Structure 1
Amino acid sequence: MNRFFEENDTCSALEAQYNAQRIAFAPIIFQTARSMRDLGVLKALYEHKEGMSVDALAKETGLSRYGLITLLETALSADIVKQEDERYFITKTGYFLLNDPMTIANMNYNHHVNYQGLFWLDKAILSGKPEGLKVFGSWESIYPALSSLPEDAQQSWFRFDHFYSDSAFPEAVQKLLALKPKRILDVGGNTGKFSMLLAKSNQALHVSIMDLPEQLALAKVNIQKEGLEKHISLLPANVLSSEHHFPKGFDIIWMSQFLDCFSEEMIVMILSKAKEAMDENTRLCIMEPFWDRQRFETSAYCIINTSPYFTAMANGYSKMYHSKDFIALIERAGLTIEAIDDHLGVCQSLLYIRHLA
């Protein structure tokens, strides 16, 4: 585990005051940076390494001098551009805003999914409900709403979700196949991406996806497109229902970025249900991005700052977890961790769990 963010009060009072102003104006900086990206300003500066005047930028982008100067001066204060004489140049920060896949996924997700709803974060903290979700409609949580979200929000949500999981999927598949399973239960399988990768990697393997009916509708379309209906079954279920029980007979029960969608008590309840369906040969394999087990502080920063989304938008009660807090929940459910593999893909850890009587 890494000790991120433990020595973060070492700046001077003047520096601290400046940092506070950067936070106070952060929404303006965010929207300025996004606008410069989406309106082609960053692209123009990136393509003109010799720098560009305001007039040259206006000609290339079709934007007014007023609009450009407004964006450029704010960008100058945020280290997104630099100025030499009358020319503007893109900085390293500007480069990442324009080209870095992680930054693009994060920015689109925060703009299209979170930006308006986070206005109600304080109300969500007080009520324990996703008060910001009202910007998209009357839903109790975001998950049944995913298939009904506006296209930009839906695409940004899935791109964000998949960015942090997809890079780990190939390695995770190989680790699961090394356990020589015949039947795998993919709990919270979402669009079916992981299950399809499993099925394609081993034709003798059968995978069942257990998820909400609304999510399975998306998975079904993808599975049919790939012609994998014989290899993947769909099990509609609400794991929070008191009447729901996990099906038995699986070699592996798989959960990827699933349990962070629930409160601590819900996680213990879900794990206890999984335990009831396990025998001495069953492994429960959980993949989660724990912020304290990252290689780099950048990943830890991104993961930690996803938690307010869960509070204001997703459901009002879940979050991204520190590994010691998550492990304590597994132990409360009466399960035992065999091993942990860290650093799969961008940020994932894989937990191998047994039910030892």
Structure 2
Amino acid sequence: MNHFFDVSKMSAKQAQYEAQKIAFAPIVFQSVRVLRESGILKLLNESRLGMSIEAIAEQLSMTPYSVSVLLESSLSAGAVAKDGELFSGTKIGYFLQNDPMTRINMDFNHYVNYLGLYDLDKAVEQGKPVGLKVFGEWETIYPGLTSLPEKAKKAWFDFDHFYSDSAFEAALAIIGGDNRKRLLDIGGNTGRFSRLCAATLPTCHVTIVDLPEQLSVAQVEIEAAGLSDRIDTHAANMLDVAAQLPQGFDGAWMSQFLDCFGEEDIVRILSKVAKGIDDGGKVYILEPMWDRQKYETSAYCLINTSPYFTAMANGTSKMFNLGELTRCILKAGLVVCDIQDNIGFCHSLIVCEKKSKG
């Protein structure tokens, strides 16, 4: 499954070209993004015969100079094609304009990551999200999510929900098959999963554990959905060593949660979960692990999300592989009893139980 990113057969000339793509990547990214936002890409994707620079400039009230700069940079990326004096759309340009995943990834990287990643070197040295200062003086991004600039906030939640939402239905089928009655949703954010769980599994009661800032938003959504009798909340900062989890649950759910922490924190959190769930309880860990992907595209996206965690989110976490998470699970006193891959777009569901006392 993990045979991605093989460049062993690349010639020296090809390697040099690929190196230049990396060197100019920030410029190409912004050129193509502005090409999309300006409407040029849409025009070309809809044009059957192609369009000249002058025709595009006139239709969009832009200068020919501006259009030419964007088009030529985008040409180097394959986002547009050129035949004589006419430019047209390409398959790459089509996905840049119309593919939801591509649009969400691009917006996330522009509005959330772009400025802060300038300080990735400092974040790597210090083990802190140094780039986060472009938005505020929080220790991690999570308390500040609801206070981010509107476009950044939208891009962050769109990114988070796009990937997680695709996996919820399949994961709930597994949880429902295990007949869980009381479920902890740890790191439940605004309660998206919990509301779906309550609506899908009528005999399951859910408790969301998260920061107060997220729970205040979740509570509004829960009440609006008429689910206050099925979902409650418990405020806790899981980075706080003294933080306690409520007891008496036969299941714990964590969706894209453990990738928000370094390995030491993960072991500590999972140890609390292991102690808190009832005997016979199960722990469901939904994570997009790059080494469990079916396609190289998803592995590429996941690996390159890790620098966001380093520079912007917390300075210590990443998109983990299965070996890293398994190591943490075992140290916490849990055992892996099942792994289901290809859940949603790119997730795996790791189902754990307590280690037998015998």
Q: How many Å apart are 1:250 and its aligned residue?
A: 0.9
Structure 2's unaligned 5+ residue stretches are none
* TM-score in terms of structure 1 length: 0.98
User: Secondary structure of 1:144's partner?
Assistant: helix
Instruction: Find the aligned partners of 2:244 and 2:138 in 1 and give their Cα distance.
Output: 25
Could you say what the CA RMSD is over the residues aligned between the two structures, in angstroms?
Answer: 1.0
Aligned to 2:322: 323
Determine the structure 2 residue equivalent to 1:4: 4
Partners of 1:132 and 1:244 lie apart in 2 by 27
**1:63 counterpart SS class:** coil
Instruction: List alignment gaps of at least 5 residues for structure 1.
Output: none
Partner of 1:276: 275
Paired amino acid for 2:190? T
The amino acid that maps onto 1:195 is S
Q: Quick check: 2:124–2:310 contact (8 Å CA) kept in 1?
A: yes
Match of 1:263 in 2: 262
Distance, in Å, in 2 between the alignment partners of 1:242 and 1:20 is: 44
Structure 1 residue 240: Cα displacement: 2.3
1:113: Cα distance to partner? 0.1
Identity of aligned residues (%): 53
2:242 aligned residue: 243
Tell me the matched-pair count. 356
Give per-residue Cα distances to partners, 1:8-65, cap 9 Å, x unaligned.
2321111111111111100000000100111101111111122111122112222110
Residue number in structure 2 paired with 1:307: 306
What is the CA deviation profile of residues 87-118 of structure 1, one whole-angstrom value per residue up to 9, with x for unaligned ones?
Answer: 10111111111011110010000000000000
Within a 5 Å distance, the mapping from 1:108-119 to structure 2 comes to 108-119=107-118
Are 2:266 and 2:328, in contact at CA under 8 Å, matched by a contact in 1?
A: yes
Q: Deviations over 1:263-283 (max 9, x none)?
A: 010000101111111232110
What SS does the aligned partner of 2:141 have? Answer: coil
Deviations 1:245-289 (A, max 9, x none): 222211110001000100010000101111111232110110000
Q: Is the 8 A contact 1:257 1:289 kept in 2?
A: yes
Give the CA deviation at 1:228. Answer: 1.2
**Counterpart position of 2:202:** 203
Q: Separation in 2 of the partners of 1:173 and 1:49?
A: 45
Which amino acid is the alignment partner of residue 131 of structure 1?
V
Secondary structure in 1 matching 2:351: strand
Task: Give 2:225's aligned residue.
Answer: 226
Cα distance in 1, alignment partners of residues 201 and 331 from structure 2: 34
Alignment of 1:1-357 (within 5 A): 1-5=1-5, 7-355=6-354, 356-357=356-357
Aligned-residue offset at 1:327: 0.6
Amino acid of the residue matched to residue 53 of structure 1? S
Distance in 2, matches of 1:32 and 1:218, equals 36
Listed one character per residue, the Cα deviations across residues 196-250 of structure 1 (whole Å, up to 9, x for unaligned) are: 0001112332110000101111211211221111111011111222222222211
SS in 2 for 1:42: helix
Large movers: runs of 4+ above 6 Å: none
